[in-house]
Structures are given as C-alpha cells and as structure tokens.
Amino acid sequence: MKSSTKDKIKGRAAQVKGVVQEKTGRATKNPKMEGRGTGSKVAGTVRNKVGDVKKVFGK
C-alpha cells in the first residue's frame, strides 16, 4: 500500500476518533475530552491532507 493511502486512512481514523471524543465530551460536560477530540479531528484532517500532497507529488 502506498504511503499516501496509509496517511489518508490514518487521517480519517483520527478524524472519526476525534468526532467521537468531542461528542462524548459534550455529552458528559467534560471540556478536556471535548478539546482532545477537537485536537484529534484537526490532526486527522492534516494527516489526510498530507496524504493528498504525497499523492500529487508521487511519493
């Protein structure tokens, strides 16, 4: 599997994890968990974009 595909898969997994953490934090009124979820979501988006860039440049 290409590294760009791996980055996109790992990025999407982090996004999903972040959404779940964020919603759980909101539901339990836990701002730390909500913040970690937002961070994971952003990190997943960045990793997904890294995969896109690698795909464009053929790495």
Q: What is the DSSP string of the chain?
A: --HHHHHHHHHHHHHHHHHHHHHHHHHTT-HHHHHHHHHHHHHHHHHHHHHHHHHHHT-
Instruction: Quote the pLDDT of residue 50.
Output: 94
pLDDT tens-digit profile, the chain (59 residues): 888 899 999 999 999 999 999 999 999 999 999 999 999 999 999 999 999 999 898 86
Q: What is the pLDDT of residue 59?
A: 63
What pLDDT is attached to residue 19? 97
- The pLDDT of residue 24: 97
